[in-house]
């Protein structure tokens, strides 16, 4: 039985109602979803100075940084510099011109969330597992909840897959996810290599850190909310991974990133990826790159769907920056040395609270 060889799950999340079902016909947000205390002030913007996350052109990036032995800067290196400064100052960027086709995966994910509840529940999160249709990081019965549902899947390494769940996904969705992940994974690896070049690190060092790349994904569903001023679509958090590559499936916006003390809304460009640095890359770069806090607001303007692909180092890897980023000519080591497995076990053991977990890793 394939599932018998799965390595142990990293945590569990208490079962919660499917918000999509609960929300049908509801006029009032139930108390457990009322989050008035989590509604930070809206962005403080002044006309033209409205900030937005940087935009990086993948074709420009592919042409950049090819010859690290040359000291001449080509016009394409501008894109690499833009990438570097986006990861330092924002930890978030939009990636355009990437060549990955998104149509099919978007259509199939939308179709999944339109299925009758009995069909969706076939892939329900089993108790004691994080994979499947449910929620993550629900640790206590008192904890306030997000106005969203998700399907979480680990796809690589193969022994961490929950075959039982994968096989119960509608076949057309499974095939679309397979096609999409093979394309987005290639892009993810290329991006990690470009990040290494931007950091002045040997590409080999980044490759060694990520190894065969641990890969997971989340299909996020945020139902329309009758009282959006009371609820939160997705709690403020930083991603406990290496790198996240996300697509917004439909037209409903809602993602906000914390920048300069403000919550800045993200308006995805057509077919763009939204990419962000995760906690493990912040630690591996000794804080040079920033794992930015982000959240999803609730809205009454309709449902919102997104698909996040996560890239991380393997569980047994210790998160330690390469010598090129730590003293004597660089800052001293800023984060505790910890294995990925221990990092993740801690991450999934407490309710999410902004950047508090990565902050607790600081020396
Ligand atoms: O739905 C979004 O735009 C953000 C989702 C997210 O932050 C996540 O899945 O980690
Ligand atoms: Fe996230």
pLDDT tens-digit series, residues 95-153: 999 999 999 999 999 999 999 999 999 999 998 889 999 998 888 988 999 999 999 99
Name the residues around ion ligand 2, CB cutoff 5 A.
239
The first and second tokens of residue 289, run together, are 């790159």
Going by C-alpha positions, the residue among 350, 346, 277, 348 that lies closest to residue 88 is 277
The answer, yes or no, to whether any atom of ligand 1 lies below 6 A from the CB of 294, is yes
Q: What residues are paired with 264 via a beta bridge? A: 257
Nearest ligand by distance to the CA of 273: 1
User: How far apart, in whole angstroms, are the C-alpha atoms of residue 58 and residue 332?
Assistant: 33
For atom 9 of ligand 1, which residue has the closest CA?
Answer: 308
The answer, yes or no, to whether residue 8 has pLDDT greater than 60, is: no
Q: How far apart are CA 293 and CA 256, in angstroms?
A: 9
Is the Cβ atom of 266 under 6 angstroms away from ligand 1?
no
Number of the ligand closest to the Cα of 220: 1
pLDDT digits (tens, 9 = 90+) for 319-330: 999 999 998 889
pLDDT higher than threshold 50 for residue 3: no
Q: Which helix (H) or strand (E) holds 248?
A: strand 243-248
Regarding the beta carbon of 306 and ligand 1, being less than 6 Å apart is answered yes
Indicate the burial class of 183 (C-beta count within 10 angstroms; 0-12, 13-18, 19 or more).
Answer: middle
Q: Is 56 helix (H, G, I), strand (E, B) or coil?
A: strand
- 308 ligand 1 Cβ < 6 A: yes
Q: From the alpha carbon of 237, which atom of ligand 1 is closest? A: 7
Are the beta carbons of 93 and 53 closer than 8 angstroms?
yes
- Whether the CB of 309 sits within 6 Å of ligand 1: no
Chain segment 177-223, per-residue pLDDT in tens: 999 999 999 999 999 999 999 999 999 999 999 999 999 999 999 99
Beta strand pairing call for 55-57 and 92-96: parallel
Q: Is the CB of 297 under 6 A from ligand 1?
A: no
Give yes or no for residue 239 CB within 6 A of ligand 1.
yes
What's the Rg (C-alpha) of the chain? Answer: 20
The verdict on the CB of residue 240 being under 6 Å from ligand 1 is no
Assign 246 a pLDDT band (cuts: 50, 70, 90): very high
Residue 67 tokens read as: 């010859």
Tell me, in angstroms, the distance from the centre of ligand 2 to residue 92's CA: 11
- 37-56 residue pLDDT tens: 777 665 555 555 668 999 99
CB 121 within 8 Å of CB 165: no
In terms of C-beta density within 10 A (0-12 exposed, 13-18 middle, 19 or more buried), how is residue 238 classed? Answer: buried
CA–CA separation, 104 vs 102, rounded Å?
A: 6
Helix or strand run (H / E) with residue 26: none
Return the sign of the alpha-carbon dihedral for residues 108, 109, 115, 120.
positive
Q: Which atom of ligand 1 is nearest to the CA of 294?
A: 7
Q: What is the mean pLDDT of residues 221-230?
A: 96
The pair phi, psi for residue 130, each rounded to 5°, is -100, -15
């Amino acid at each position: 039985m394939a599932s018998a060889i799965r390595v142990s799950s990293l945590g569990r999340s208490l079962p919660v109602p499917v918000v999509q079902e609960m929300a049908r016909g509801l006029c009032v947000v139930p108390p457990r979803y009322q989050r008035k205390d989590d509604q930070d002030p809206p962005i403080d913007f002044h006309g033209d100075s409205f900030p937005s996350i940087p935009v990086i052109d993948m074709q420009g990036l592919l042409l950049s940084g090819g010859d690290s032995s040359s000291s001449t800067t080509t016009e394409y290196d501008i894109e690499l510099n833009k990438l570097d400064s986006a990861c330092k100052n924002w930890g978030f960027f939009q990636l355009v011109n990437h060549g990955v086709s998104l149509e099919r995966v978007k259509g199939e994910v939308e179709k999944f969330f339109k299925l009758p509840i009995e069909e969706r529940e076939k892939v329900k999160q089993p108790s004691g597992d994080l994979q499947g249709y449910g929620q993550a990081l629900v640790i206590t019965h008192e904890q306030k909840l997000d106005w969203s549902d998700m399907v979480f899947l680990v796809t690589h390494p193969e022994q961490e897959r929950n075959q039982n769940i994968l096989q119960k996904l509608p076949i057309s969705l499974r095939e679309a996810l397979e096609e999409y992940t093979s394309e987005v994974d290639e892009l993810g690896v290329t991006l990690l290599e470009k990040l290494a070049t931007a950091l002045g690190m040997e590409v080999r060092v980044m490759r060694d850190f990520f190894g065969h790349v641990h890969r997971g994904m989340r299909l996020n569903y945020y139902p329309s909310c009758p009282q959006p001023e009371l609820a939160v679509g997705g709690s403020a958090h930083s991603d406990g991974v290496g790198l996240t590559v996300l697509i917004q499936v439909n037209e409903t916006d809602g993602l906000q990133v914390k920048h300069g003390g403000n919550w800045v809304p993200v308006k995805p460009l057509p077919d763009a990826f939204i990419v962000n640095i995760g906690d493990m890359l912040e630690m591996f770069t000794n804080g040079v790159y920033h794992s930015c806090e982000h959240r999803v607001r609730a809205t009454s303007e309709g449902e919102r769907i997104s698909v996040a692909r996560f890239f991380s180092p393997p569980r047994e890897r210790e998160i330690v920056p390469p010598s090129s980023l730590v003293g004597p000519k660089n800052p001293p080591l800023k984060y505790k040395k910890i294995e990925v497995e221990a990092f993740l076990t801690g991450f999934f053991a407490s309710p999410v609270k902004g950047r508090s977990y990565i902050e607790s890793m600081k020396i």
